[in-house]
Amino acid sequence: MENLHKRILEEGQALSENVLKVDSFLNHQVDADLMYEMGTYFKNYFENHKVTKIFTIESSGIAPTVMTAMQMKLPMVTLKKQGSKILSGDVYQTTVHSYTKDMNYELTLSKKYISKEDNILIIDDFLANGEAALGAARLVEEAGAKVAGIGIVIEKSFQPGPKMLKDKGYDVYSLARIAKLGKGSIEFVK
């Protein structure tokens, strides 16, 4: 996706060989036009996958997921990372390790927002080690539903997540694929 590549190169900051900061348009300040365009790409790729709902993990995946759900005219569900008094009891939960924060959290899905008939598209902001996407897929499959595919805004192709998810049979579609990061340097997969 050319506009996303351009924004990553112009505004993204490679803080290290593994960390890319894109908070000026994706997750602190959000460029709604760019998110809408991302939604169009996800819609076009997944429109024949018989998707019934779109899931994301709070919070950075919400903006592109909302735009995708709007365009596909489908419900969107946000998987929660934080504990909540109103989200107790009838839930599916799984432990996920956050690469960025180097900590574990409980990913939570209310049972009332998924059924065995659902075919779920999962969208997330980054794919590095694959833990978040794999955790979301575990929740979907624990509920007896199917994973229609996994949409990723920025894939770090040099980390193990993309291969692991594809080896497990998931259809992974990434809008930007990073081949290499270095302090001040960003290279895309050719």
Q: Structure pTM?
A: 0.95
129 labelled binding-site residue: yes
> Is residue 86 one of the residues assigned to a domain?
yes
CB atoms within 10 A of CB 127: 26
27 labelled binding-site residue: yes
Q: For the chain, what is the domain count?
A: 1
> Is residue 19 one of the residues assigned to a domain?
no
Identify the pLDDT of residue 85.
60
> Is residue 57 one of the residues assigned to a domain?
yes
Count each helix (H run) and each strand (E run) in the chain, helices first. Answer: 5, 10
- Summarize pLDDT for 69-110 with one digit per residue, the tens: 999 999 999 999 876 666 667 999 999 988 777 889 889 999
> Is residue 124 one of the residues assigned to a domain?
yes
109 labelled binding-site residue: no
128 labelled binding-site residue: yes
> Is residue 185 one of the residues assigned to a domain?
no
> Is residue 184 one of the residues assigned to a domain?
no
Identify the pLDDT of residue 80.
92
Identify the pLDDT of residue 42.
98
CATH at 100: 3.40.50.2020
Residue 117 Rama label (left phi>0; alpha psi -120 to 50; beta): alpha
Identify the pLDDT of residue 83.
63
Strands (E), the chain: 13-14, 20-21, 53-57, 76-79, 91-98, 103-110, 119-127, 146-156, 172-182, 185-188
Identify the pLDDT of residue 183.
87
Contact between 127 and 146 (Cβ < 8 Å): no
20 labelled binding-site residue: yes
> Is residue 172 one of the residues assigned to a domain?
yes
pLDDT band at 41 (very low <50, low <70, confident <90, very high): very high
> Is residue 10 one of the residues assigned to a domain?
no
Mean pLDDT, the chain, rounded, equals 94
Residue 46's domain comprises 35-178
